[in-house]
Amino acid sequence: MTSCLIRSVKYICNDIKFAAARVSCLTKNYINRPVCRISSVTPKEHPKMADRILPQIFKYVDDNTESYKQLLKEAVAIPSVSSDVKYRKECVRMVEWMQGKLKEVGATTELRDVGYQTIAGEQVKLPPVLVGVLGNDSKKNTICIYGHLDVQPALKSDGWETEPFELVERDGKLFGRGSTDDKGPVLGWLHAINAYKGVGEELPVNLKFVFECMEESGSEGLDELLLEKLKPEGFFKDVDYVCISDNYWLGTTKPCITYGLRGISYYFLEIECAKMDLHSGVYGGTVHEAMTDLIHMMNQLVDKNGRIQVTGIYDSVAPLTENEKKLYTTIDFDTEAYRHSIGATKLAHNGDKEQILMHRWRYPSLSLHGIEGAAFQPGAKTVIPGKVIGKFSIRIVPNQEPEEVEKLVFDYVNKKWAEHGSPNKMTITAQSGRAWTENPDHPHYQAAARATRLIYLTEPDMSREGGSIPVTITLQEASGRNVLLLPMGAGDDMAHSQNEKINVRNYIEGIKLFAAYLHEVSKLSK
Ligand SMILES: NCC(=O)N[C@@H](Cc1c[nH]cn1)C(=O)O
Ligand SMILES: [Zn+2]
Ligand SMILES: [Zn+2]
């Protein structure tokens, strides 16, 4: 109750005009029943009355913290790893589980088939996309919410301190794969909706949902579903705004609203020297080894300072203007804390704040990810791998089109391969998604900023993000509407990494943030 009081007081301080009304709501709320019920009038007609609802919702969210953790535990326990076909059934189970939850809050839902993907020549069925609709009141704004239910792979033996698919609470943090990317935020929307119901209030907006289970593997089939099916069917006709919660604050204390993402161009460089693995004692010295070729090729891609070696790759990068340069100086970002949180000895660019931000947001970067077919497990295995696949990606930036980047990479790799002169077989394939930026001066962003100030009592930073959510630009094009990223998690959540977590505070305050965002957007003109 003390924390609730403190928060309520902070909330009141944000808007002193309605303080008295809020206090009366809060007082009644302590006996835990819905008060200030105004379901017969829409918030748009009576915004001041509607402002009384949020304190009740915040209290409701605090009261239900344990059940929110419980639901996240259930979601994390489903290992919906999209990159490995052996977990495909779990992906389907995850989508169906979420469908059940959306139905429970009254949404009409559909599982849309998106066909097949080809893996090593085999056709593998893609998990369905969960599409939902909640509310159909023409007087209300409609928000389309996107999220993903798949996760990156995780094994305890990768170096996790606890089982990755068991949500574990420790020191105010909820550890588990998908806790922050993206199951926690997806559930956050569900809990925000539930909180409106819980205090007996009508949702102030209509909602449309697109939840997929292939985001971490290139969102296969999703663009076609959105552009060739849902759009012609009129799914986006009444959508006014699009919101995605699938990224993180820049640091650990200051909230952000995000208006840009880098794209991704992901490559599989395959080299084959034999039709099977070979005993290195028997065959070593007699064959041109695939791994030797691959290491040579991978070493041509980027230099030790992170400069990409692919010819022409920087040509289309937008030049830095003086105005843009200034933006980086005002961003609140502690490079030392960032360095410390990942345990690095020294950051690139001498740790210069502006340079670090620019290289995360507006310049491309190339990363080497791994080698399939390599003897990566512990122990002194002595084979010559017959076939290896080197994996690397380039985070691409506005103005860089995936087709153009892919062509530059293919040309460069083919040239280097020809110079190398190996008799082995080399093939390279790619999978790409575009970068995205949005207008952060739009009223939609101002509404999200007001919601953020209510919860965190500080002005959010307008940030960009180095990661990629390929469908963002598709949603922007399909809807023709303003798209906004509203992160729930903190900058040190370690998405994709060992010991991924979400802070209890970010999860719970994030639910309130989503509820406040729905409320603020309901007040925008249509
Ligand atoms: N939270 C967004 C995210 O993690 N996106 C992935 C997308 C991806 C992965 N492989 C191909 N695309 C990312 O790595 O940025
Ligand atoms: Zn991710
Ligand atoms: Zn994600």
Q: Is 215 a catalytic residue?
A: yes
Dmax (CA) of the chain: 85
φ, ψ for residue 265 (rounded to 5)? -125, 110
Q: Which residues, chain by chain, have CB under 5 Å from ion ligand 3?
A: 181-182, 246
Contact 50, 32 (CB under 8 A): no
Rounded to whole angstroms, the Cα distance separating 453 from 13 reads: 11
Full set of structural domains in the chain with CATH: 3-25+53-261+436-522 (3.40.630.10), 263-318+362-433 (3.30.70.360)
For residue 303, name the pLDDT band (cuts at 50, 70, 90). Answer: very high
pTM as predicted: 0.87
For residue 5, name the pLDDT band (cuts at 50, 70, 90). Answer: very low
Q: What would the mean pLDDT of 321-346 be, rounded to a whole number?
A: 93
CA of 497 to the centre of ligand 2 (A): 10
Confirm or deny that 468 is annotated as ligand binding.
yes
Ligand 1 contacts CB of residue 266 (under 6 A): yes
The 10s digit of each residue's pLDDT in 69-123 is 999 999 999 999 999 999 999 999 999 999 999 999 999 999 999 999 998 889 9
Catalytic residue among 51, 90, 150, 202: 150
Give the number of whichever ligand sits closest to the CA of residue 183: 3
Tell me, what's the pLDDT at 141? 98
Percentage of the chain surpassing pLDDT 90? 87
Contact 290, 372 (CB under 8 A): no
Give the number of whichever ligand sits closest to the CA of residue 247: 1
Judged against a pLDDT cut of 50, whether residue 26 lies above it is answered with no
For the chain, give the mean pLDDT.
91
Rounded to whole angstroms, the Cα distance separating 483 from 474 reads: 10
Token digits of residue 141: 């704004």
Give the number of whichever ligand sits closest to the CA of residue 471: 1
Confirm or deny that 181 is annotated as ligand binding.
yes
H runs (alpha helix) in 276-385: 280-283, 290-298, 322-330, 335-342, 353-361
Rounded to whole angstroms, the Cα distance separating 279 from 37 reads: 75
- Reduced to 3 states (helix: H, G, I; strand: E, B; else coil), residue 469 is coil
Whether a cis peptide bond, with omega within 30° of 0, leads into 293 is no
The 10s digit of each residue's pLDDT in 422-458 is 999 999 999 999 999 999 999 999 999 999 999 999 9
Sign of CA dihedral 224, 228, 234, 237: positive
Residue from 264, 265, 367, 493 to probe ligand 1 pocket by mutation (most atoms less than 8 Å from CB): 264
ipTM: 0.95
Confirm or deny that 46 is annotated as ligand binding.
no
Q: Cα 80 to chain center, whole Å?
A: 15
Rounded to whole angstroms, the Cα distance separating 142 from 243 reads: 11
Q: Is 150 a catalytic residue?
A: yes
Q: Which residues, chain by chain, have CB under 5 Å from ion ligand 2?
A: 181
Q: What would the mean pLDDT of 186-212 be, rounded to a whole number?
A: 98
- For residues 418, 421, 423 and 426, what is the CA-based torsion angle, rounded to 10 degrees? -40
